[in-house]
Amino acid sequence: MRRLALPFAFTLALGLAACSTADAAPSSPAEDPHAMVAEGATLLDVRTPGEFSSGHIEGAVNIPISELGQRMEEVPTDHSVVVYCLSGGRSASAASMLRSHGYQVHDLGPMSAW
């Protein structure tokens, strides 16, 4: 029984450490989404128009993830992009898509992280 407890405790500690770093402040000002937007980054909301109209971060541009591939030219290429959605799944997909087209992207994840 003792042998199982140690690996479980170790695994639990690693998991808790990973969770605590996800909520930590960005490691540098360049990774701070507020600072990035203040310096001119595009704030991109990839939720649906209905979700966007029910509330969004001030200054955000709405391009739903389902339309991003066809509307990529609407996202400026001369500065960074901070992307978000409701829970983080769509923003992760959008960030990956944008990065593959050469954009500098910060994935905020869920809007609540703002």
Is position 91 within any domain?
yes
Is position 107 within any domain?
yes
Is position 16 within any domain?
no
Residue 76 φ/ψ, nearest 5 degrees: -60, 145
Record the pTM: 0.74
Q: Is 57 left (phi over 0), alpha (psi -120 to 50) or beta?
A: beta
Given a cut of 50, is residue 74 above it in pLDDT? yes
| Amino acid symbol at 79 | H
Q: State the residue range of the domain holding 95.
A: 26-113
Give me the mean pLDDT over the 96-103 stretch. Answer: 96
Q: Is 85 a catalytic residue?
A: yes
Q: Give the pLDDT score at 30.
A: 56
Is position 4 within any domain?
no
Given a cut of 50, is residue 9 above it in pLDDT? no
Contact 80, 31 (CB under 8 A): no
For residue 8, the 8-state DSSP code is H
Pick the catalytic residue from 44, 85, 108, 111: 85
The CATH number given to whatever domain includes residue 65 is: 3.40.250.10
Is position 7 within any domain?
no
